[in-house]
Amino acid sequence: MAVATCTAACSATAPDPTPSLNRVAIEQQLEWARTNGAAAEQVDVLEQALTNGAVTIEQIVDLNSRVEDCLADAGFRVTDVGMEQVQVGSSMTMPGYVAVQPEGMDDVAAGAVMDECSTKFIAYAQSAYMDQPRSQEILYEGYDNPDVRQCLIDRGYDVDEDATGYEINLIASDDIRDHGTDPGFTMCTPSDSPSE
């Protein structure tokens, strides 16, 4: 039996009234949403994002609840788990749920239903949200701290003093690639969420 824990990206930032820096990404997600049969609610969110400059937390939370309803309608036992931290050291949280497939439904069929509900109600809006510059900043800002910098420097990486959290995260990813299979390896990650 498959049990899935799922989340959708969220941020507390308001839409930018100026033209969006990620307009091309929003337009692409909107095209894919229309082509792949996304629900009108998701298409509407993307259309609003073209005007407002961003997908908002309220929109993602609403779309996530529609995914939960879709799964419940298909017989899944769905438990909303509220907002969850995306990764250690990130102040970005996402609405999440746990979905348990109906008895007698095999994993392949369950996965297909989950994909269908996600595609219909949230996948493209979530991708557009994650491409937003502010979302990327929030996701990685916790890496911009002395402990992570020193950890990476101690392992021989050059970490520019002006490096952003995103850039430091990329170096930490290189460290995982280069040393992740070493005995006793621990990742250079923030231990706590940054203060807001």
Say what the pLDDT of residue 3 is. 52
Give which of 124, 136, 129, 130 is closest to 28, Cα–Cα.
124
Q: What is the DSSP string of 139-157?
A: HHGGG-SHHHHHHHHHTT-
Low pLDDT (below 70) residues in the chain: 1-21, 88-89, 191-196
pTM over 0.85: no
